[in-house]
Structure 1
Amino acid sequence: MTKKLLFLFPFLFAFIIVSINHTFDYYNVRSVTGGMVTQTVIIDPGHGGRDPGAVHENIHEKEIVLDISLRVRDNLEKRGITANMTRDIDTDLVSEEMKGSTRQQSSLLERLDISSSSEGEVLVSVHTNSSEDERFFGTQTYFKEGDSQGKLLAECIQAELKKVRMSSREAIPGSFYLLDHSDKPAVIVEVGFVSNEEDRRLLAQEKFRILLSEAIANGIEQYITAR
């Protein structure tokens, strides 16, 4: 009996090792596909403080995008994805002494500096859109031309946003200071046109902003899984 056990022991040991490795691989795959992989994202609510962004009637861009961005952060963190904010209060990140275009430029530089010094792997800047043509509506996501990872991220987010507010808009390249000077894949997410009556009505509703934040978080998680 003892000889039989000694003979079987190497096979039993090998079976245990294989089982442990299989179990580890299973949970490792689940951690990635389930969105639980350790990942850090930078969320940038545009404008803030003295800079209200686009304004139409009772809608101020800085307030809308901060509300949505905070919800995106909370949504991501529930999925195990760390989200660092460039701002989480009503500020444009610039000292009170600065004015005009210098102030706007300094605000952008400060956001880029926060993003660069952070451990975050991608930058998602949230804005609203505006146009002289009030017929324009819907969400729009921009990426830097030639940035393949930024393009993938933008496409993932835009696809999810279109489920919330249907339109023919796709993720497209755009020339923006934030995108052009980011040291990591970056996108600008326009959550709607404040110049459009229906978009304006929807953005004023908490339920709609929750849906937008969930869509952005879904897109980010899909990007993490797909890349």
Structure 2
Amino acid sequence: MKRLAPYALLFTLIFLLAFQNRSPDPAAEAITVPAKHPAFVMIDPGHGGYDPGVRSADLKEADLTLAIGKELKTALAELQIAAVMTRETDTDYATRGSSGKTAKRSDLNRRMDLAFEQGATMFLSLHVNASSQATRGGAEVFYSEQLPEAKLLAESVQSKLHQLPEMSRRDAKPASYYLLENLPIPSLIIECGYLNITGDRAHLTSPLYQKKLAQAIALGVEEYLKSR
């Protein structure tokens, strides 16, 4: 038996060398799972801080857009679409000491800068409407005509919003808003409804509806990305 020991040792060394040089098992190396879609969405809950947006009694647009924005971030994550927010608290980015148009412009510029700094490939700015001339509610999506891809994204999101129960059917529309005109990536302004329309007001203040609204927007983003 002692004369067999060297052969056993040689066999063991050969086995270890073969094990170290074998082809790796793909399943064993799948530690990091890449994102399902190659997109990075910047969610911008409109207004905040010094700027509450439109108001209706005790309701502020800034609070509603923030609530919807948080739900949208969660909905996108569930679809494996990476997203960040320009704000997660009631804050703004206006230059201190500024006011009026100057304050608003500095606030918007900083939000756009955040998109550039983070490497966002898409920008979704959330808002809530109010108009004494509106006879019906409904969510409405706006985009810049300068970017054909933005139109496709807008139509995809708008089509998913149409599927929400009791949603008034509005069309995606081109617009010349400052954000849309100055962002080189597909960008949308999404007016989630009208605070002064009774049905919309009830929906917009409902946490369950806010979640459904966010899920519809996320599905629109997913559909757009699949089509690309």
TM range, smaller chain: 0.7 to 0.9
CA drift at 1:93: 1.8
Post-superposition CA distance 1:149-169 (Å, at most 9, x none): 100110111111111142231
For residues 134 and 159 of structure 1, what CA distance do their matches in structure 2 show? 21
2:163 counterpart SS class: helix
Find the counterpart in structure 1 of residue 174 from structure 2: 173
TM-score (norm 1): 0.81
* 1:188-227 mapped onto 2 (5 Å cutoff): 188-227=189-228
Residue 129 (structure 2) aligns with: 129
Q: Is the 8 A contact 1:134 1:197 kept in 2?
A: no
- 1:41-82 per-residue CA deviation (whole Å, 9 max, x = no partner) reads 111110001100011123211010111011111111122111
Tell me by how many angstroms 1:133 deviates: 1.9
1:69-80 superposed matches below 5 A:
69-80=69-80
Compute the TM-score of the two structures, normalised by the length of structure 2: 0.81
Which amino acid is 2:217 matched to?
I
CA distance in 2, matches of 1:197, 1:53: 19
The residue type paired with residue 119 of structure 2 is E
Hey, what does 1:48 align to over in structure 2? Answer: 48
Q: 1:134 to 1:148 in 2, by over 3 A?
A: closer
Contact 1:38 1:80 in 2 (8 A): no
Residue pairs, 1:132-147, within 5 angstroms: 132-147=132-147
The 5-angstrom pairing of residues 1-227 of structure 1 reads 36-164=36-164, 165-227=166-228
Shifted more, 114-123 versus 214-223: the winner is 114-123
Secondary structure, in 3 states, of the residue corresponding to 2:145?
Answer: coil
1:122-171 superposed Cα distances (whole Å, 9 cap, x missing partner): 11111111212242310000010131110011011111111114223111
Structure-1 separation of matches of 2:196 and 2:221: 27
Counterparts of 1:54 and 1:226, CA distance in 2: 35
Are the counterparts in 2 of residues 44 and 85 from structure 1 also a CA contact under 8 Å? yes
More helix by share: 1
**Contact in 2 for aligned 1:116/1:183 (Cα 8 Å):** no
Is the partner of 2:138 in helix, strand or coil?
coil
* Partner of residue 12, structure 2: none
**Structure 1: 5+ residue stretches without partners:** 1-30
Residue 127 of structure 1 aligns to a residue whose secondary structure is strand
In structure 1, distance between residues paired with 2:168 and 2:138: 6
Please, what is the CA RMSD of the aligned residues?
2.1
CA contact (8 A) 1:69 1:213 kept: yes
Are the counterparts in 1 of residues 136 and 168 from structure 2 also a CA contact under 8 Å?
no
Q: Percent identity?
A: 34
